[in-house]
Amino acid sequence: MRNIFFIIVCLVTAFSANAQNVIHGEYFIDADPGFGNGSPIIISLPDTDITESLTIPYNSFISPGYHYVYFRTLNASGDWSFTSRKLVEAEEDIGLLSIINIEYFFDADNGFGNNGSTQLIAASDSTWTFNIPYNQVPVTWTANDTLFVRVLDSERGSWSITAMIDSLNLTTGGLDDLMQQMGVSVYPSPFSDELNLILKNPEAVNARIYNVDGGLVFDKIINQSVHINTANLPSGAYIIQVNSGKTKVFNSIILKE
């Protein structure tokens, strides 16, 4: 089953001296089936001005490509509004099972198939997530760094359009910066058999510790001070990552003696 949807936000205003509440709406694609014969738009709260979110299943479009989606509304007096339209593109739905590879790069593109790659993880809400090892993130992250991603389609053997993700909020710095920006105190540094994380703010955070190869050695949501047994960790450098849950991520290097 195809699972690409289009989200259309429609704002309708009644223009008359005796404006009536909008009680019903309908839409159709490309060809007008006649008033009252379109696909229904449920009006959650009748009013003279409405804003509704409309989800149109991919299989409503007869073919991939550009189509016109038309909208109109019905008021309490039985009068239809003018019909408005929006041009949308129904891209071909390749489906999750058809995607065999996702690759990513920061700023510089090494060419198709030559960048870092990782596995896609499907969620129940049809979104996909993927994890990038810490050692492949730029050592000094700045506001000008940009992440790019694209996927490979196994059916056609072709790559998707490269997407730019410029909304990352990633900061690197020392432990003093971690305390200032995230309210998390980490000590001792260097550490040996135990590492302490002390929260100064009431908000819970996700704390992760990676080795220099990007391997995850600790991952926990914490809402109070924690003491981590690190006796079995080899000596060397580690990266502590703190995520506030507000898309802000802070990374700092810690050392084990």
Cis peptide before 234 (omega within 30 of 0): no
* CB neighbourhood size of 241 (10 A): 22
Tens digits of pLDDT across the chain (257 residues) = 343 344 444 444 333 434 578 888 899 999 999 999 999 988 877 777 767 777 888 788 888 788 999 989 888 888 898 898 888 877 665 554 466 678 888 878 888 888 888 766 655 555 666 767 666 776 665 656 678 888 887 667 778 888 877 656 566 667 787 787 778 888 888 888 888 888 887 778 888 888 877 778 888 888 878 888 888 888 888 888 887 765 456 667 777 77
Tell me the two tokens of residue 98: 């058809």
How would you classify the pairing of strands 169-172 and 248-256? parallel
Alpha-carbon distance of 170 to 250, in angstroms, equals 6
pTM: 0.44
Alpha-carbon distance of 139 to 157, in angstroms, equals 33
For residue 214, count CB atoms less than 10 angstroms from its CB and return exposed for 0-12, middle for 13-18, buried for 19 or more: middle
- State the architecture of 170-256 in CATH terms: Sandwich (2.60)
Helix H or strand E segment including 256: strand 248-256
For the chain, give every domain's residue range: 5-90, 96-167, 170-256
CATH C-level class of 5-90: mainly beta
CB 54 within 8 A of CB 39: no
- The amino acid that residue 61 corresponds to is F
Same fold, 5-90 and 170-256: yes
Alpha-carbon distance of 59 to 3, in angstroms, equals 8
